[in-house]
Amino acid sequence: GCPAPKVVKNHEGSAMLKNPENAYRVLKALVAAVDMPVTVKMRIGWDDQHINIMEMAQLAQEAGVAAIAIHGRTREQFYRDQADWGIIGKVRASLRIPVIANGDVRNVQDLAKIRQVTGCEAVMVGRAAQGNPWIFRQLTEYLKTGAVLPGPTIEERKEVIIRHLDMLLKFKGDYIGPREMRKHATWYTKGIKGSAELRCLFNQAVCRDDFLRILDKMK
């Protein structure tokens, strides 16, 4: 499923959509080699002229995979346009194994709609969790009770930013850690009042104290 150029140029990830027979051989060999369920994630095709998800899904099922996750875009789309949930539903209806729907699930409304459109057993969340780990408690609560929980408070955002920063400092060190944290801090504060100013400040932070001073400005 991966569309990244550095992956595709090695005939890996989404590039395997261009060679279904080889993908089948790889999946079958993997299933035979391990004593655990094997799942596969794929896109719906290479481009608009080569949408072969129905064939690929059938081959994956024949290879013995336990479930298939489908991102409703072609490789050439990357993350442009709206994911095609309808085709995911068609694949689901044609298979015996579970299908996991993926693409553009950003809130409980999207969750409800993708489940209705696809009929899938599960839903996968990717980019929507960047800077918003609270989405999982919201989606889980909605599935359990139908309630829509509010988003995180400012204090919750601050706590997670500090925790994330401390983990990066521990694993990446005092130089790389703060610099990697800049983008994460920007994601955590996206959409709140003054987020543009905060983004500029985060992009200049070089140590833990810099982040703490910036967080003090969040109200």
N- to C-terminal Cα separation, the chain? 40
Residue 2 falls in the annotated catalytic set? yes
**CA 123, CA 102: separation in Å to the nearest integer?**
6
Residue 105 and residue 114 in contact, taking contact as beta carbons nearer than 8 Å = yes
Residue 101: φ, ψ to 5°:
-85, 140
Give the tokens for residue 88. Answer: 């995911």
Spot the catalytic one: 2, 120, 200, 207. Answer: 2
Helix or strand (DSSP H, E) at 77? none
Residue 106: φ, ψ to 5°:
-115, -15
H-type alpha helices, 34-153: 53-63, 85-94, 108-118, 135-145
Residues classed as catalytic:
2
